[in-house]
Amino acid sequence: MFPILEKRRLNDSMTLMVVEAPFIAKKAKAGQFIILRVNEFGERIPLTIADYDGEKGTVTIIFQKVGKTTLLLDTLNVGDCILDFIGPLGKPSELEGHKRVAVIGGGAGCAIAYPQAKSLHALGAKVDMIAGFRNKDIVILEDEMRAACDNLIVMTDDGSNGNKGFVTDALKKQIEAGANYDLVVAIGPLIMMKVVCDLTKQYNIKTIISMNPIMIDGTGMCGGCRLTVGGKTKFACVDGPDFDGHEVDFDEAMLRLRTYREQESEQTREFNCRLMEGAKNA
């Protein structure tokens, strides 16, 4: 059992939790992930580690409420426990040896992208961070992101923060204005990572992306997280989650992520109904 020590709503759909997991906290490195199961009947879902503190023995996760499991997780409060919390899984990110880096986060992906920016910055790279959100009301972690890099650019799809456009618009502008990136790190929805890679390919800039596919065990046993990288089958759980974005077959990954879309939306609908029932009866 893994107690929740802190819980913070970042916006309407995103929550941060600090979880007591001393063994994992001691071994965790940037880019790795955990798998959790909320209760006995729950699914196992992977979440990238947003932060960790080996001394305090804590691991921070940030999740977006997108389905039943994340909705259920969000009903837990400080003092409650998560039944299973397993990690650190996957290979740590390889961030050393870069001079000028653009770190790109999309929505909830910013939660994972900003610690990467922080690590790169600490390793001596000059870091620009480009964060994209649908509108200004759901911008998260702005202060943290600003502190983690040399230059933060926040884009909104609807322009509500005065900076309308996608992350790729900002990235292109930066590159054309002479930012001489030797690495781009992109973390967010698959479609965002794909378009970032399409752009950086044109400029021949090495691009690392972080995959977050459907998974069960996270140890290479089920093969459910497989994806095609450079024409070869790779398992995101043990070969990743970071991959060279120019080699990844994103179209296949997007189709695979939709495997259980119908079952999931049905479960989520039922769960929301029950939550409402509960609220009415309370």
Partner 1 sequence: MPNMEPKKTPMPEQAPDVRNKNFKEVALGYTAEMALEEAKRCLHCKTAPCMNGCPVNVHIPDFIQSIVNGDLEKAHDIITATNALPAICGRVCPQENQCESKCVRGIKNEPVAIGRLERYVADWYMDGHEKKAERAASNGHKVAVVGSGPAGLTCAGDLAARGYSVTVYEALHAAGGVLMYGIPEFRLPKAIVQKEVEHLVEAGVEVKPDMVIGKVLSIDDLLEMGYEAIFVGTGAGLPRFMNIPGEGLVGVYSANEFLTRINLMKAYLQEYDTPIIRPKNVAVVGGGNVAMDAARSALRLGAEHVYIVYRRAEEQMPARREEIHHAKEEGVIFKLLNNPVAIHGDENGRVTSIECVEMELGEPDASGRRRPVEKEGSNFEIPVDCVIMAIGNSPNPLIRSTTEGLEANNHGCLIVNEETLQTTRDAVYAGGDTVTGAATVILAMGEGKKAAASIHEYISSRYQ
Q: Which residues bind partner 1 (CB under 8 A)?
A: 23-24, 27, 37, 41-44, 68-69, 83-89, 216-224, 226-228, 233, 238, 249, 252, 255-256, 258-260, 263-264, 267
66 vs 221 by CB, closer to partner 1: 221
Least Cβ distance, residue 226 to partner 1 (angstroms): 7
24 vs 171 by CB, closer to partner 1: 24
- Here the tokens at position 231 are 């024409």
99 vs 258 by CB, closer to partner 1: 258
Least Cβ distance, residue 147 to partner 1 (angstroms): 30
72 vs 129 by CB, closer to partner 1: 72
Least Cβ distance, residue 81 to partner 1 (angstroms): 12
Least Cβ distance, residue 114 to partner 1 (angstroms): 24
Least Cβ distance, residue 194 to partner 1 (angstroms): 15
Residues contacting 83, CB < 8 A, separation 6+: 1, 2, 37, 38, 39, 40, 42
95 vs 237 by CB, closer to partner 1: 237
27 vs 173 by CB, closer to partner 1: 27
Least Cβ distance, residue 198 to partner 1 (angstroms): 20
